[in-house]
Structure 1
Amino acid sequence: MTKYIVLLRGINVSGKKKIKMSQLVAMLESLGFSEVSTYIQSGNIVLKSNVASPIKVSQIIKEGIYTTFGFDVPVLAKTFIEWKEIIAQSPFEEHNDLETKKWYYVLLQETPCKELINNLQQEQFANERFVISNSCVYLYCDKGYGKAKCDNNFFEKKLQVTATTRNHRTMMQLLEMGKQISEQ
């Protein structure tokens, strides 16, 4: 079985697309996923599956959410190995907790086209810096994400890919949760 970290985009935000985590876990288990656990109410999931493709896992969950809850939600799945690699490749250096609150990971569903990456890397923004990899945009927001021009929608538009963003703390928590799942 493969361990996955799964991210849902845009649930339980401003009272829209509400999903109780207990109902989400029950739905995922009914779809054949095991050792399902969630972190906070914004759609962060750790689970195991016999399905070997992250894209297929995303499709199964996306269809399950539509059938069960009646709305379309972008779903991004990464294997636990991919997750560890994304964190290991981060250009962020460990500092104090205040610094880590300015670090964000814009996780990409697919690899953007090289031309779009090159064009975006030419742009610069006050108080924001980013590094683009094949699977993630590492974003530093000096003034915090709430005031950032380079938000999730910005990167989706510029790179023409589906993405979802998580802060450093959430990334590390999901990493720890993934370590707790058995290897069998």
Structure 2
Amino acid sequence: MTTYAALLRGINVGGSRKLPMAELRTLLTGLGHTAVRTHLQSGQAVFTTDRGDEESLGAELSRALEERFGFPVDVIVRDHTYLKAVAEDCPFPAAELEARQLHVTYFSAPVAPDRYAAIDRAAHLPEEFRLGDRCLYLYAPDGVGRSKLAEALSRRPVVKGLIATSRNWNTVVKLVELTAAQA
């Protein structure tokens, strides 16, 4: 059995695209997954399964969510080993920062650095970003809500063709813990 986290994009935000976590747990159990748990209301679920891979599991869950709730939901599924590596490979001093200052954007596929070539990094200082393995680390000292760099990073030409979903550092660490507890 492998333990995975499913990261749902854009649900339960601002009162739209409502997706109750109890129903997400029921749906995942109905798909044959075990040890299903959710974290927060923003779309994280942890489960174990002995079939499929990250891509096929994400596609299966996305289809099931659209059938059940009537709207499309992008889903990225990652296993414990990957989530742990993302946390360990953080290029910023996570232990010295507030969780609101550090975010990880998970991508559905590897991202070439040239996608970000047009972003003037110096113009956004002290905010910074670094690419990782199918992820991007964002340091935003005043939080992501006020971040001009976060806005630039999320523009359509930059993320076109990818599923991208971001989590703050507290959630990144919690997902490592939750998937480790079941691994």
User: Which residues of 2 match residues 102-121 of structure 1 at below 5 A?
Assistant: 102-117=101-116, 119=117
Aligned to 2:20: 20
Instruction: Please report how far the alpha carbon of residue 7 of structure 1 lies from its aligned counterpart in structure 2 after TM superposition.
Output: 0.5
Aligned counterparts, 1:30-179, within 5 A: 30-96=30-96, 99-117=98-116, 119=117, 123-124=121-122, 125-151=124-150, 154-155=153-154, 157=156, 158-160=158-160, 161-179=162-180
Contact 1:113/1:159 (<8 A) preserved: no
The structure-2 alpha-carbon separation of the partners of 1:153 and 1:45, relative to structure 1 and needing over 3 Å to count, comes to farther
Give CA deviations for 1:107-164 in whole Å, capped at 9, x if unaligned: 11101234325x1576331331000123111100011110112337734631432210
Distance 1:57 1:41 in 2: 21
Counterpart of 1:151 in 2: which secondary structure? helix
Aligned-pair identity in percent equals 27
Q: Equivalent residue for 2:5?
A: 5
* Unaligned segments of structure 1, at least 5 residues: none
Distance 1:40 1:101 in 2: 16
Equivalent residue of 1:150, what SS? helix
SS in 2 for 1:55: helix
Inter-CA distance 60–163: structure 2 relative to 1 (3 Å threshold): same
| 1:163-183 C-alpha deviation (Å, 9 max, x unpaired) | 1000000111111111111x4
Query: Retained in 1: the 8 A contact 2:25–2:37?
Result: yes
1:49, CA displacement in angstroms? 1.6
| TM-score, normalised by the number of residues in structure 2 | 0.89
Q: How far does residue 94 in structure 1 lie from its aligned partner after superposition?
A: 4.0
Contact 2:94 / 2:102 at 8 angstroms: preserved in 1? no
Give the C-alpha shift of residue 19 in structure 1.
Answer: 1.1
TM-score by length of 1: 0.89
CA contact (8 A) 1:131 1:137 kept: yes
